[in-house]
Amino acid sequence: MTATVPDAVRTPYRRSGATRFALWAQRLGWRHVVMWVVAAFAVFPVLFVVSAALNPVGTLSSSQLWPTGASLANAQDLFQNTPFTTWYANSLFFALTNAVVTVLLSALAAYAFSRMRFKGRRVGLIGLLIIQMFPQFLAIVAIYLMFSNIGELYPAIGFDTRWGLLLVYLGGALSINTWLMKGFFDTVPKELDESAQIDGATHAQVFFRIMLPLVTPVLAIVALLVFISTINEFLMASVFLRDTDAKTLGLGLYQLVASQRNANFGMFAVGAIMLSLPTLTVFWFLQRYISDGLTAGAVKG
């Protein structure tokens, strides 16, 4: 658009050039101005965190909006002085496993709700909506008390273990996700799986070979949403994981800037970028599904 302005100015007929510019400003020019303002608002914290990550001094008070130097000192600090790799592995473990298993569990349920008619179907669907209104973290006190007892019987799934927290997360697998998927399953023509069944396919074959490939977009979206929410989950994790080595990256970063927020800021900035990287990557690959998937979810409630 910067190229457009000189063009308009260079035109021999000044008056018509000005008119054209005025017209352009009225139709598109202001839109660019608005977008620059919004983009600046959107980008400046990201710019700040990148610049802080590269800042050789590594303190909050020395970090500028625009990078003043480039060094990997902060990254080195983070890798050497904190259990960063363990934290990162924990975060990725929770996010990936939860996303995969949740997608599987809710797709199974959504298939049953979409394709089969059985006693309790209506109650089940409405029940899922109601349970959804009592978010799992509201029961955090009860979960804490439950796992104090479970941990004594089964140390493998008690506090500070991966499997225990994962089990809690999976408790929320059947939820609004099931509704979202059911809505999408409903749009797949019934004739497809009916004809497959007539050809002798079992219900399991129909589900795995015919339905799942057709509903990939919604699977991708649900996986993305679960992935993002797990990686950003703080409340459950903070109650569950108290050991330094058991923490997720989010908890670790919180702890890092809780006591020494000025001094550790450079390390925090590196960690923040690392925490955002998986999401950014997944986002990039799923870009084309996201808009449609979210809108589909919107209409389906």
Single residue of 19, 202, 216, 288 touching another protein by CB under 8 A = 202
Name the residue nearer to another protein (CB basis): 15 or 287.
287
Could you give the residue ranges of the DSSP H alpha helices within 120-215? 121-133, 140-153, 162-171, 176-186, 190-198, 203-205, 212-214
CA angle 62, 248, 241 (to 5 degrees): 120
Closest contact distance (angstroms) between CB of 99 and another protein is 15
If one asks whether residue 265 binds another protein (CB under 8 A), the answer comes out as: yes
Alpha-carbon dihedral angle through residues 98, 104, 106, 111, given to the nearest 10 degrees = 170
If one asks whether residue 66 binds another protein (CB under 8 A), the answer comes out as no
Distances from the Cα of 167 to the Cα of 99, 163, 173, angstroms: 13, 6, 10
Give yes or no for residue 77 binding another protein (CB under 8 A): no
Contact set for another protein, span 221-240 (CB under 8 A): 231-235, 239
Contact range with another protein by CB under 8 A, out of 10-18, 80-88, 136-144, 215-223: 136-144
Positions in 21-60 near another protein (CB under 8 A): 27-28, 31-32, 34-35, 38-39, 41-43, 45-46, 48-49, 59-60
Residue 163 half-sphere exposure toward CB, CA atoms < 13 A = 7
From the CB of 100, what's the least distance to another protein, in Å?
A: 13
Q: Which is nearer to another protein, 14 or 28 (CB)?
A: 28
In the complex, the smallest distance separating the C-beta of residue 71 from another protein, rounded to whole angstroms, is 19
Q: Which 79-118 positions form the footprint of another protein (CB under 8 A)?
A: 105-106, 108-109, 111-112, 116, 118
Apex CA 230: angle with CA 224 and CA 231, to 5°?
90
Considering only residues 159, 226, 240, 267, which one is a binding residue for another protein as defined by CB under 8 A?
159
Of 14-22, 69-77, 211-219, 263-271, the segment contacting another protein by CB under 8 A is 263-271
CA 23 to chain centre: 42
- In the chain, how many H helices and how many E strands? 16, 0
- Structural contact between residues 63 and 55, judged by C-beta atoms closer than 8 angstroms: yes
Residue 189 CB-half CA count within 13 A: 4
Q: Which one-letter DSSP state was computed for residue 138? A: G
- Using the rule CB under 8 A, give the single segment among 5-13, 16-24, 70-78, 164-172 that binds another protein: 164-172
Select from 67-75, 78-86, 180-188, 212-220 the region that touches another protein (CB under 8 A). 180-188
